[in-house]
Structure 1
Amino acid sequence: MYSELTRYKIIRVRFVSRNRCCVNRLFKLKTKISEMESGNSSSGMQFAGWWPEYILDHRQLPPYVVTIAGVMRMYDTYTWLQALGVLLLLILFYYYLILPMNYVKDLSDVGYGHLFDGGIGLAQRKGRSKRELVKEVRRLRKIGNLPPVYPNGWFMLLESDVLAAGQVKHVAALGENFAVFRTRAGVVHVLDAYCPHLGANMAVGGAVRGDCIECPFHGWRFKGEDGKCTIVPYSEKVPEFARVKSWTSCEVNQFIFVWYHAEGEPPSWQPMIIPDIHNKKWSYRGRNEFLINAHIQEIPENGGDVAHLNAIHGPSLFAGSDLRFSERILHRFARHVWTAQWQPHETKPYQGTMHLHHEVQLLKKIPLVTMDVRAEQIGPAYVELYLNSSFGPITILQTVTPVEPLLQRLVHRIYCPPHLFFYANFVLYGESVMVERDIMVWNHKKYIEKPLLVKEDQSIRRHRRWYNQFYSENSPQFMDAT
């Protein structure tokens, strides 16, 4: 039967691949099959298409190709298109709802869209990249009379899941360069990155040896606990004074923190473990990360600025993050309504608490979703947000790390009970859009040392007094840090 059909086909097949598994050029039909012998219909050889049948007839093809072709000829083209559509939906569902979200934006990605809408003259824009324009805007911006650029407290250097056992990473923050490494036993240490011998960066090419880090230049080893040199491979004696600075650090809630204090004082408080996260009872559902052109104090000060909530975060999520388009008529059918208050903690002076009620209203009348949030500002750069809605509880952790005096790395990580995975991804996306609205303001604002406040702005004054405790006599000023 096959030999009879082959006489009616003129087809060339080319294979490229030593194992004959890759088809370089699909079959080219030079003449059409004129007709099928009437006797073939009873043998089940009716075609859904000529090429699956040819594959089945070609004994030299790999078995899996023959199997796939056999399945394909069982269904028509419309059925296959439906199947591909369902498969695409499943892939999107898996990517956006099952996988933890990783929402990352660079400095030039948020808040600079106006540069291409006439914000800068055409002559200045012509032939220049977005990064170049952003750099120019940063240079021209007036920064105001700034507070010290690096407050005292705990700062996140790395997220725990990016530092494997036996690995070392370089982190530049707070005007310092750190070598952060994890021993094979899982203990994290933070040292000055530069070897005191000849200045090699031990985090670049260095190796973890036991509880020490080994410099890649000459093999000197420094103990993670106290920074003392333990081995100089080509010397019989290790100098007593040979050591590198060891920084106080801790690993809490899947963050690696370092203690920074301009006066060299030891920690007076510690980030506390959240049991549901520490015991992995709650699932990690994603993160976002932003680079922000601002002083570090601008970011946590949003907690005391309750009046900005309805102005910046009132328009619906459909309005996006560009404030120029947030009040278009199309976006007014739904709105976020916020009420909030911020107070210093009664018994913990390093902590401030914000209570916030959030409601999504349809046509400014019909409540759709409500949520209560308690935000604990712990020190100058770490916030724990506890969200409670009708769907269930969610926790978001926020850290701010000064990369440079006016460049902050803002990170949020979200956790929830396992059954709320789909809702957590939506919350993180919505929170990311809201943060981008703030960033559009932060990237361009001037710090006002003595702001013009009305009676309803008193929480801003309280927040500034509270935050001022994290500065000390030798805290670096902007001009010194640059």
Structure 2
Amino acid sequence: MVRTSNFVSRESNRLQAFPTGWFLICFSDELEAGGVKSIKFMGQDLVVFRTESGKVCLSDAFCPHMGAHFAYGGTIQGEILRCPFHGFCFDTEGTCVKTGYGTKPPRKAKLRTWPLQEMNGLILAYHQQDWNHPEWTVPELDDEGWTPLIHHTWELRANPYDTAENSVDFGHFSTVHGYRKTEILQPLHTEGPKLTARYAMDRDAGVFGKKNDLRAEFEITKWGLGYSCVEVEVPEYGLRSRHFVFPTAIDYEMLKLSLAISLRHVAHPEKINPVLRLVPKSMLHKLILGASMRGYKNDVSQDFEIWRNKIGVERPPLAEGDGPIHAFRKWAKQFDPSSTGEHDRVISAAE
């Protein structure tokens, strides 16, 4: 079989291996205390649950005792997950702490659990083929002065490699999304699992009754293939926002693609439209976030038909204006568990 990389088949653009790194399981507001939620993650059936104290755990979906699915009748009792079938109970380390009959728990009744991070309204899980401990983490953002996230999720036929590459594919910004005059403010830079870049673009925009040719600046920060934060600034309107993209493989063909937006508190709404000066702050931020999310969903969905029907090209004959595709692919190799190529060492965010 011909491959574009070890990740993706040329014939089908189907994943060949699940990437290493941190990936979104769900948003924090989707899992209340005492909740048990079924998750499809990297070809596996899992459950994510939150104990009464608020601790989150991601584990196998099926009880190791006799195979019941925890998301269908399983309950949280304090800090443990109780199986609906025979009442076997497990802590957040996956250890069986008691049976339903008061007998000694079998030593082999053990749940696999995944490393998790919960921060900034996100629940992220670390995936690695050989089950080593995470070599790096995604740093928490300072969200003082920013609104809570609003978010949206699709499921579609695509892969996280393509969706991550999309943000450095400058050539498609004009042909697919209608942006113009792309200017590189900071070239792509990589350091271990982190990738950054800054650029600016123009676009016709209609915002709250005004139609303008807007200049926007974009600062991209990626941690692996599963976490992307683009800080967007529109100087003319005094707007700053964080646009997040979280591609998580459901299986080798299907992708859960989640978007989220947070808005920096707006100091001068009259820059956007004089009428907005009269709108209460709480409603103002809701209005702007709603308009931003509608535009963001429209932008991202313009790529869907391309992702669903494209093939991979291992060595594309790039032209000036395509963007740093080769640099991105060299960086991305480190997340391929079967890659044998040279790449930057994956380092801890604390190093």
Task: Please state which band the TM-score falls in when normalised by the shorter chain.
Answer: 0.7 to 0.9
Counterpart position of 1:218: 86
- Pairing partner for 1:430 from 295, 298, 302: 295
- Pairing partner for 1:355 from 183, 198, 214: 198
Partners of 1:350 and 1:305 lie apart in 2 by 19
Backbone CA RMSD of aligned residues? 2.4
Indicate if the aligned counterparts of 1:361 and 1:368 stay in contact, CA closer than 8 A: yes
Indicate if the aligned counterparts of 1:155 and 1:399 stay in contact, CA closer than 8 A: yes
- Pairing partner for 1:288 from 122, 140, 152: 152
What is the deviation of 1:338? 4.5
Counterpart position of 2:31: 163
After superposition, where does 1:50-449 map in structure 2 within 5 Å?
143-144=11-12, 148-224=16-92, 226-276=93-143, 279=144, 281-284=145-148, 286-314=150-178, 336-339=179-182, 341=184, 343-346=187-190, 348-361=191-204, 368-389=213-234, 390-391=236-237, 392-419=239-266, 421=285, 422-449=287-314
5+ long unaligned stretches in structure 1:
1-140, 315-335, 476-482
> Taking every aligned residue pair, what percent have the same amino acid on both sides?
26
Indicate if the aligned counterparts of 1:149 and 1:296 stay in contact, CA closer than 8 A: no
Partners of 2:63 and 2:49 lie apart in 1 by 15
What is the deviation of 1:293? 1.2
Structure 1 444/402 Cα, relative in aligned 2: closer, same or farther at 3 Å?
same
Counterpart position of 2:275: none
Structure 1 173/249 Cα, relative in aligned 2: closer, same or farther at 3 Å?
same
- Of structures 1 and 2, the one scoring higher in RCO (CA 8 A, sep 6+) is 2
Partners of 1:437 and 1:401 lie apart in 2 by 19
Partners of 1:214 and 1:248 lie apart in 2 by 21
Partners of 2:338 and 2:256 lie apart in 1 by 25
5+ long unaligned stretches in structure 2:
1-8, 206-210, 267-283, 341-351
Indicate if the aligned counterparts of 2:118 and 2:124 stay in contact, CA closer than 8 A: yes
Structure 1 145/385 Cα, relative in aligned 2: closer, same or farther at 3 Å?
closer
AA in 2 matched with 1:394: S
Counterpart position of 1:468: 333
2:138 aligned counterpart, secondary structure: coil
AA in 2 matched with 1:263: D
AA in 2 matched with 1:464: R
Q: Which structure shows the bigger proportion of residues in helix conformation? A: 1
Give TM-score, length-normalised by structure 1: 0.59
2:250 aligned counterpart, secondary structure: strand
With 212-221 and 403-412 compared, the bigger mean Cα shift is at 403-412
Partners of 1:194 and 1:210 lie apart in 2 by 20
Indicate if the aligned counterparts of 2:15 and 2:252 stay in contact, CA closer than 8 A: no
